[in-house]
Structure 1
Amino acid sequence: MDLRAKHSLGLLDQLRKMRETEKLTDVVLVAEDISFPCHRVVLSAFSPYFRVMFTCGLRECSTREVFLRDTPADSLGLLLNYMYCSELPLNNANVQGVSVAAFLLQMDEVFNRCQSHMRENMDASNCLGVYYYARDLGAEELADHAQRYLRTHFVQVCMSEEILELEAHKLGALLSSDDLNVSREETILDVVLRWVRQDTLTDGVEDGRSRHLAELLRKVRLPLVAPDYLKEAMKRNMSLLADAECLEMMEEALEATGMHPAVAPRKLKLRYGMETTDLLLCIGNEGGGIRSRYGNYSERSFCYAPSTGRTYYITSPRYGDVLGVVCAGVVTEGNEIVVAGEAGVRKMARQTDRNVEIFRYRVEAQGTWEHLSSAEYRDSYALGALGDTIYLLGGQMKLKNQYLITNCVERWSLQGGPWRSAAPLPMPLAYHSVVRLKDRLYVLGGRTPQSWRMDDEPDRLSNRLLEYDPETNKWTELGPMKHSKYRCSAVALNGEIYVLGGIGCEGVDRGQSRRCLDAVEIYNPDGDFWRDGPTMPSPQLSLLSNASNAGVVGGKIYVCGYNKGADRHEDIIKDILELDPWENCWTVVARHVLMHDAYDVCLVASLNPRELMSPPADLVTQ
């Protein structure tokens, strides 16, 4: 501890002791009939409010007692404790009282600490209270944060007691918002009916919530509610039948959805959560291939919505030099979009060692990429996820000044902490594919070293299928594929694994010639067997990296752009293919889409198009 810090702590300790023994105290603050002997100079040092009070020449400058009528005693006691001891024990029970007192006494540092506490401890059970408190106090940043939180987590908020305690006009204003993250309008109707049933007694008289029912029902977009749900609500809630206006609204909604079930909802604006859909994300750092006079699309990545056939763009990891190279990516079961790669040129210049950099996409932060962790450098690896744990599998690592294919597996939790070793792969692999099915990871294909024919290529292609069980931390080898291959895509659909295209040869690779494949192989884990799927329209490879260019949306497989040609001759094709497993055939659903000339990994995530960029009218291929 330096001399200055020691001196300051000594002064603080002496002031605290003098207050406790009431030595040299020259003012007594009184709140709720409780007296707090203090020193004017200490109060003035921490509070501009007291500084003005004690120096402006008014009565408080000379009186012994100063009454604070709008300040709770317990909150004042905590603030004085902070002044004299630098301690501020905040909790959810006292934080609002302390923050109001700090606001009145103009103690900005304490007020900011209270706001930080409320942000960090916000949840579905208290966000409404925080929002109205912050709004009424004029704390705009906290109010905006709470409003975003309650809209994002509105389904959980509807299950809390707080929403049932709102006044009718506040509930109505809340339900009017287009930005509520609800996937079904039934959630809104349900909370209205539960609020009305919460008729409480005040002085022996009901507060008459039912008189607000028609007003609140107008906030519900009834044509978006399923007809069966409307009928059931009318059976279970007599208040809907007892009010002529409410009954008329319900009957009109039933008539509209009955006569035009597909048209009626389109007349109403959908809420935020109803627009959220599964999208194919073609994440990468390639900037060429499309151009527009509006904005820089070299820092955007192509997205495709199979449900509507519309194109969007997501912020690329290239933006802000986050990643110079994207090598792999995965979407977790919790819909977290995670990519791995190498740092950009500017960041590399500041680093002494190369690492695998892990980033996560943050929708709530205007579509930015957040750095999560760094791992020991390798390339040609695969990235998988089980729960909130991500896995780096295989690849090439630097060993004794040369890059060798490895069987090393490391895992890291999105909750934080160090990287930990997992059971190594049964064999060294690079350029392999990984897919999640239920609670297991499956690794297939790739390149593995060979040493029995030194005059031949150093690597062989693999046709082996490996299964990882996180509970036992063990790998199991399953039935092999028909082809040894790499640069293939692998996806899970209907409890099976589909392996599409790639470069390879039939059977075990013993040095025979390789070719571009149009084969689809399907693995059934229940019976541990492979069968042939519908042949692709042409032989094709996945991306230039080892990542997949396929994803599953709505029970169908989509291939987003590909390289095709025999004998490894590659032509970039910007088409999107669809495989319906029930029709068992491939269809081109979009031709010449406005994607870049190349990308690094195709992922499927649930996003709201409102958070993405739509293409301008003049966006064209270069």
Structure 2
Amino acid sequence: MDHKAEEKRRQRHSLTLLEQVKRMKESTEIIDVVLVAEGEKFPCHKVVLAAFSPYFKAMFTCGLAECTQKEVVLYDISAESVSVILPYMYSADLRLTHQNVQTVALAAYFMQMEDVCRMCQKYMMDHMDASNCVGIYYFANHIGAEDLADRARQYLYQHFAEVSLQEEILEIEFQQLRTLIKSDDLNVSREESILDLVIRWVKHSRQARAEHLIELLKQVRLVLVSPSFLIEARKRNTMILCNSECNDMFEEALKTIQLSTQPSLSLRYGMETTDLLLCIGNNSLGIRSRHGSYADASFCYAPATKKTYFISSPKYGEGLGCVCTGVVTENNDIIVSGEASAVKRSRQKTRNIEIYRYHQRGNQFWHSLCSTELRELYALGTLHNDLYVIGGQMKVKNQYLVTNCVEKYSMEQGSWRSTAPLPLPLACHAAVTVKNKLYVLGGWTPQV
């Protein structure tokens, strides 16, 4: 018997065992233990529980009372989480939702099921947005999930302007909010959003939170708030107007602003950014260099100051032969794509789309990020720091065909995978991200 046949036989054997145990669970055959959570009973098999959970293995082999008990009561574990974890043990099917993922993660943590913990964390990472990142951050800290906490913290700080408008942030505790708004790392362009958040947080439960108003206002950099906003905020909120200490803080800030005294306060992260228009050149008929020759027209323009800054071209050295399209991710990574330079292409067996990322430090500003199967007239999009190569024209058996396929590149994992296709083949289109949604517009479809 060859190796592959033997491997298939073993796989069939394992699947048969799994299927039979699953059927016995469904028909409640040879049940030897019943789990009880929130009064709900779950008949199952000790051997399955022990195989997947070190917690249950220790329970059933320790020689204590649980070894012989027909029912095991699970305290502080929800019935819903047990109803999700048990099917996973019997069938590898873990049905996570936005509503149950945290309770399932807690139960898995209690049962010492590391695989389920990892899947729950990945689910929360993949579905993180402005409406839930605060809860995920504090939940991850609570259970000691450091990677998840770091990811949620980065998302929370990077998107704080949007997060501050969500209902979830109004539910956090005083010390949590104080620590947040004290940070220099919040990506907000205007201090008004911090002041507005403090007012909304206190008003959300005014009777219980009014005592914290002054301490929270001390963390707001009032001299960075526009005078009109300060005056309007005080006028519209009696809790500020009727508090002498709050009034004094506002008056002092207004005087400082009026005197144009430079505040000794550091700016927050988002206040030090500059909006730029990027032009990544594509031919040698661009801007004349200081040496007299023509270079690629790669530069950026700051509308606020009307200044132009020149940047290195991705076509230098063995970079791109041409630049087809580009995007800027939510982490401000500049990404361009095109086909390899002639020098690099001469060493390749197949032609690819080459994707480069701009680095602000080091001697080589543009670094190769990844590559994928060649197509033309495609769109490059970005969402949640993932890249999407969308549609375009591909050469199949010496014939050019317009495609609807979409490839997604995870910058975190460094891997490609196919994702949901376009509803129709499309070429010469564009992609844009607005409010966490990726839109495709324009282009043309092949004639039938």
TM bucket (normalised to shorter chain) is 0.7 to 0.9
Equivalent residue for 1:354, pick from 345, 351, 356 = 351
Rounded Cα–Cα distance in structure 1 between residues aligned with 2:41 and 2:390: 61
- SS of equivalent residue, structure 1 residue 277: coil
**Deviations along 1:230-278, whole A, 9 cap, x unmatched?**
1111111111122222111111110001001xx434x211111111113
> What displacement does 1:314 show?
8.6
Larger helix proportion, structure 1 or 2? 2
For the residues of structure 2 that align with 1:170 and 1:216, how far apart are their CA atoms? 11
Could you say which residue in structure 2 is the equivalent of 1:269? 266
Distance in 1 (alpha carbons) for counterparts of 2:38 and 2:203: 38
Report the aligned-residue RMSD: 4.4
Secondary structure in 2 matching 1:219: coil
Show the 5 A alignment for 1:280-299. Answer: none
Kept in 2, the 8 Å contact 1:391–1:412? The answer is yes
Question: Aligned AA for 1:225?
Answer: V
Gap change, CA 1:358 and 1:7, over 3 Å in 2: same
Equivalent residues of 1:410, 1:422 under 8 A apart:
no
Query: What residue number does 1:110 align with?
Result: 116
**Unpaired segments ≥5 residues, structure 1:** 201-205, 290-300, 401-407, 424-469, 475-622
Among candidates 162, 170, 190, match of residue 176 of structure 2: 170
Alignment of 1:324 onto 2:322: no
Task: Specify the alignment match of 2:438 in structure 1.
Answer: none
**Alpha-carbon distance in 2 for matches of 1:146, 1:189:** 23
Shift, 1:159, TM fit: 1.4
**Distance apart, 1:69 and its partner CA:** 0.8
Q: Could you list the per-position Cα deviations for residues 9-43 of structure 1 after superposition, in whole angstroms to 9, with x for gaps in the alignment?
A: 21112112222333222222222222222222111
SS of the aligned residue for 2:374 comes to strand
Q: 1:420 to 1:236 in 2, by over 3 A?
A: same
Call closer, same or farther: CA 1:161–1:302 in 2, change over 3 Å.
Answer: same
Structure 1 residue 220, shift from structure 2 partner: 0.6
Tell me whether 325-334 or 87-96 shows the greater mean CA deviation.
325-334
Report the alpha carbon displacement of residue 358 of structure 1 after superposing the two structures with TM: 3.9
State the one-letter code of the partner of 1:32. Answer: E
Deviation sequence 1:52-74 (CA, Å, 0-9, x none): 22222222222222221121112
> Where does the alignment leave 5 or more consecutive residues of structure 2 unmatched?
1-6, 282-288, 290-297, 361-365, 409-418, 430-440
| 1:302-451 equivalent positions in 2, closer than 5 A | 324-325=319-320, 327-328=322-323, 337-343=334-340, 351-359=348-356, 370-371=369-370, 373-376=372-375, 420-422=426-428
- Per-residue CA shift, 1:468-506, capped at 9, x if unaligned? xx75869xxxxxxxxxxxxxxxxxxxxxxxxxxxxxxxx
Q: Is the 2:358–2:367 contact (alpha carbons within 8 Å) kept by the matching residues of 1?
A: yes
Q: In 2 relative to 1, CA 156–315 (structure 1 residues): closer, same or farther, beyond 3 Å?
A: farther
- Equivalent residues of 2:191, 2:220 under 8 A apart: yes
Alignment correspondent of 1:194: 200
Deviation at 1:279, TM superposition (A): 4.6
Q: Write the distance in 2 (CA, Å) between the matches of 1:93 and 1:212.
A: 31
Q: Tell me the secondary structure at the aligned position of residue 124 of structure 1.
A: coil
Q: Distance in 2 between matches of 1:40 and 1:30?
A: 14
Give the equivalent residue in structure 2 for 1:481. none
| In 2: Cα distance, 1:105 partner to 1:282 partner | 54
Give the aligned residue type for 1:216: L
- 2:162 paired with 1:156: yes
Mean Cα deviation higher: 106-115 or 243-252: 243-252
State the SS of the aligned residue for 2:196. Answer: helix
- Is the Cα contact below 8 Å between 2:391 and 2:427 reproduced in 1? no
Q: 1:333 to 1:268 in 2, by over 3 A?
A: same
Instruction: Find the aligned partners of 1:73 and 1:410 in 2 and give their Cα distance.
Output: 47
Contact 1:362–1:369 (8 Å) recurs in 2: no
Query: In 2, Cα distance between the equivalents of 1:11 and 1:343?
Result: 51
Q: What is the TM-score when the length of structure 2 is the normalising length? A: 0.72
1:395-414 Cα distance to aligned partner (Å, 9 max, x none):
xx9xx9xxxxxxx9999989
2:103 aligns with one of 76, 97, 102: 97
Structure label with greater radius of gyration: 1
1:201-235, Cα deviation, whole Å (9 max, x unpaired): xxxxx32x211110110111111111111111111
CA–CA separation in structure 2 for the residues paired with 1:355 and 1:94: 42
Looking at secondary structure, tell me which structure has more strand per residue.
1
- Structure 2 residue corresponding to 1:48, chosen from 45, 49, 54: 54
